[in-house]
Chains A and B, each alone.
Chain A
Amino acid sequence: NAGVMQNPRHLVRRRGQEARLRCSPMKGHSHVYWYRQLPEEGLKFMVYLQKENIIDESGMPKERFSAEFPKEGPSILRIQQVVRGDSAAYFCASSPPAGGVYEQYFGPGTRLTVT
């Protein structure tokens, strides 16, 4: 039973480029959460999605960041025109429909480096 999968595991982008981070939830999980961990900081909630719906994006920066979870395929976190301050580890978690805070399983993360 594969866990939460994220790719790429490491991503290097130059300032101004776009970054696309992908997350495939665990089998049977239809809820996806994205968190960001800046260097020397705790994880911060960014967005909560269900299939084809953004439920809560209150933790997302207002500009340049977007997320989707289409009917088919992985959830994608997209960062446009990346800046150095976007360098961080981005973790995705998934849960079954009734899981909420009690059953969030984290993927291995994508480490984004902006040069």
Chain B
Amino acid sequence: RKEVEQDPGPFNVPEGATVAFNCTYSNSASQSFFWYRQDCRKEPKLLMSVYSSGNEDGRFTAQLNRASQYISLLIRDSKLSDSATYLCVVNSNSGYALNFGKGTSLLVTP
């Protein structure tokens, strides 16, 4: 079983739509969780950390369910500029290495 699993998509949504991505992780001892964004052929960039209580940053909301080992990202009022691949990331047992999912592709259309 892969350490971090995501639905690869693609998700094609119109501007203004709300879209949700999910991710599961296999290591119940994981402590740190993140969503990164990766544009085509570019480096991954941190979008937001994910906390047990859930957290929001503008149009983006992240949730963590430790019991189910499940992480989600909700994007409201999608913009064309949100088109990218969204990577679910969990810390490894080492504590410093990051385990990346393959990513979920989002295309926001006019």
Contact = CB atoms under 8 A, between A and B. Distances in A.
- Do A and B bind? yes
* Interface SS of B by simple majority: loop
A103 to B, nearest CB: 9
Contact of B41 (A35, A40, A44, A111): A111
A56 B4 CA distance: 21
Contacts of B95: 100-101
Interface in A30-50: 31, 33, 35, 40-45, 48
B96 A42 contact: no
A109 interface: yes
Interface stretch (B10-18, B63-71, B74-82, B100-108): B100-108
8 contacts: A40-B102, A42-B101, A42-B103, A45-B97, A58-B94, A59-B97, A106-B43, A106-B44
